[in-house]
A and B are shown apart, each in its own frame.
Chain A
């Protein structure tokens, strides 16, 4: 029944641990408080010491089967029962079932007269009796320092306290001793010098009107522990410590991709959208359409049958549903169908830790596949930047461990460098989309980039982001020599280009036609010349023939004349040569 199995919670440490059952504390301390040793829990008034101690006992009795003794020096049994009832602990019932024994120790200084030497054996006997009566394994002494106010002899008291802690160790009970925070030391009366095994410091700080409780393990002898300050809160179900780095970076990862609900955006992300279980940051200046992208994503996820949880910190759920209805998104049936759930809260409603706790609670209750937080920057109002970052880290850790895809929208103020203002958060994110306004030509146009997308090929191009009543559309922005043009300028530029193209087309056609005509003219010219050429050749032949005929006639005439004039012998030769010359020509 007692301590079954819990000793083996952390195999690395040899020190046996006693699990507190308090959410987060066991993670920080690597399994719980040191078993069989006293732990000092100190802090100022109102920081939750008593509740911590009470929860340690109650959870021990309920969850781990370890009965406990609560020795109260400040509150009566009835008060104590009423106080822890607010955390949902049934202390009275546990007392009745002999799981917890409460002993209220009351000493009135005014009633007490000191006379000679004494010891605190009375306290020991009572404690021993209470422990033995229920077989207690855990003991709480709340607040032991009240003895300093009641008993005059501090020397005796210190000696007895030393004996008490020794006695508790010998008894083998795991004890929690609460103490008031001192001004210069951990406790007002220096109890830390007696309790050397484990010291936990609680703190309640108000920062910019928002109170946050912190827990720090100051000392834990013989064990590794988280040394940071961890915020914790006291909720309706007890205390939860929120360890920032408790989960480490060893989540299971998925290669599955999920669509964003905007096909063109999927195309920009390697064609298939985001990885399941990844964290996505969507930053943008006011009015760039972050909520719309988020709503689109939500609708797409819910339509695929994935449970989607939408945290809204700016608008009421009905307002979001109405607004995105105007661009053709129908979220209402999905809400009614139970796949989409809205959770809206004003950021200033309560502190950051409380927000985180309620978000955790919602996430645990709804078990979503997709979580949307719109916008994460609103929560900055509820805490400082570093706290917000810590919170986002924890949220991302938590959701990644559960393979939940998360979309955070983040509002950036115009005029700030986007990269700088989001740098702290972006390192936690797997994908980062940037929505931006482009101003010019008397208009504003939205553009979208993928700034980073871990583990996937993604487009480096800027896209114009159009919101119409049919939904979201991404179009290629004009990128040319005159820079990036969007909106009307892009349309004008496209028109101009079209006109230019048309003009050059027409010009080419005209030149083509002209050349054709020229060719035709040339051909005509050529044929004219050819006919001229032929004509001249004909003429030449005719001339030749004429010449031949004339020569023949002339010869004939001369011969006739010669015959008539009784010419000499040489004449026939001349006739002969004349014939020889004319012969080839006549042949042509």
Chain B
């Protein structure tokens, strides 16, 4: 029963998972800051949003056009494309708890700020 319920929940999450979290991380080169940001976001995806998160890491040095298209000013920038509203996190994401809180709130349908 419980497993069934859990399975249903997971199924529900996974069916929507492809749309549930779309994250794009823009970094500028392989700096320490970039690396830290990538690590933090990866950790987040692995730990909290496993399977329901699509992460794309873009180096704007390689693709400067995308920097313009996505209105990137500061690096690193993490853009959460989905679910709406689009949110941006700038910085090395060292303080990952803030991000967790943010994501947690969103997943619960409460939009802070």
Residues of A within 8 A of B (CB): 103, 105-107, 110-123, 125-126, 128-130, 147, 150-151
Contacts and interface: CB of A to CB of B under 8 A. Distances in A.
Interface of B: 26, 28-29, 33, 36-37, 60-61, 64-65, 67-68, 71-77, 85-96, 98-99, 102, 113
B71 A107 contact: yes
A118 B67 contact: no
A509 to B, nearest CB: 113
B65 to A, nearest CB: 7
Nearest to A101: B68
B61 A118 contact: no
Contacts of B68: 103, 126, 129-130
Contacts of B37: 116
Given A121-B60, A126-B68, A116 B74 contact: no
Contact of B60 (A107, A112, A115, A125): A125
A130 B98 CA distance: 35
Nearest to B92: A116
Contact of A116 (B36, B64, B73, B87): B36
Nearest to A132: B64
Nearest to A111: B88
Nearest to B113: A110
Contacts of B91: 114-118
B75 A121 contact: yes
Given A114-B91, A117-B92, A128-B64, A122 B74 contact: yes
26 contacts: A103-B68, A111-B85, A111-B86, A111-B88, A112-B88, A113-B88, A115-B89, A115-B90, A115-B91, A115-B96, A116-B92, A117-B94, A118-B76, A118-B91, A120-B75, A121-B29, A121-B60, A122-B72, A122-B74, A122-B77, A125-B60, A125-B61, A126-B64, A129-B68, A150-B73, A151-B73
Contact of A122 (B26, B95, B96): B26
Contacts of A121: 28-29, 60, 74-75
Contact of A118 (B71, B92, B99, B113): B92
Contacts of A105: 71, 73
A103 B89 CA distance: 22
Contact of B98 (A112, A115, A128): A115
Nearest to A147: B73
B23 to A, nearest CB: 13
Contacts of A125: 28, 60-61, 64, 67, 72
Contacts of A112: 88-90
Q: Which of A114, A121, A129 has the most CB of B within 10 A?
A: A121
Contacts of B61: 125
Nearest to B34: A121
Contact of B74 (A106, A110, A120): A120
Given A116-B36, A121-B75, A126 B67 contact: yes
> Which 5 pairs between the two chains have the least Cβ-Cβ distance?
A116-B91, A122-B72, A121-B28, A116-B92, A129-B64
A3 to B, nearest CB: 26
Contact of B73 (A117, A120, A130): A120
B21 to A, nearest CB: 16
Interface centre among A105, A113, A130 (most CB of B within 10 A): A113
Given A103-B68, A126-B68, A129-B64, A119 B95 contact: no
Nearest to A157: B74
A22 B61 CA distance: 36
A120 B73 CA distance: 6
A151 B74 CA distance: 9
A122 B73 contact: yes
B64 A118 contact: no
Contact of A119 (B26, B74, B98, B102): B74
B98 to A, nearest CB: 5
A280 B61 CA distance: 67
A103 B68 CA distance: 8
A7 B113 CA distance: 54
Contacts of A126: 64, 67-68, 72-73
A129 B98 CA distance: 33
Contacts of B89: 112-115
Given A110-B113, A113-B98, 16 more contacts: A107-B73, A113-B102, A114-B90, A115-B96, A116-B33, A116-B36, A119-B33, A119-B75, A121-B28, A121-B60, A121-B74, A125-B61, A126-B68, A128-B64, A130-B68, A151-B73
Nearest to B86: A111
A264 B72 CA distance: 79
B16 to A, nearest CB: 23
A129 B66 CA distance: 11
A107 B74 CA distance: 10
A100 to B, nearest CB: 15
A557 to B, nearest CB: 180
B28 A115 contact: no
Contacts of B98: 113, 115
A213 B103 CA distance: 51
A77 B65 CA distance: 16
B5 to A, nearest CB: 34
Contacts of A113: 87-90, 98-99, 102
A129 B77 CA distance: 18
Contacts of B36: 116
Contacts of B102: 113
A127 to B, nearest CB: 10
Nearest to B70: A122
A110, A113, A118, A122 interface centre (most CB from chain B within 10 Å): A122
Contact of A129 (B28, B65, B73, B87): B65
B22 to A, nearest CB: 15
Contacts of B60: 121-122, 125
A123 B26 CA distance: 12
A107 B73 CA distance: 8
A111 B96 CA distance: 17
Contacts of A147: 73
The CB with the most chain B CB atoms within 10 A, among A114, A115, A123, is that of: A115
Chain A CB within 10 A, most for which of B29, B64, B77, B96: B64
B107 to A, nearest CB: 16
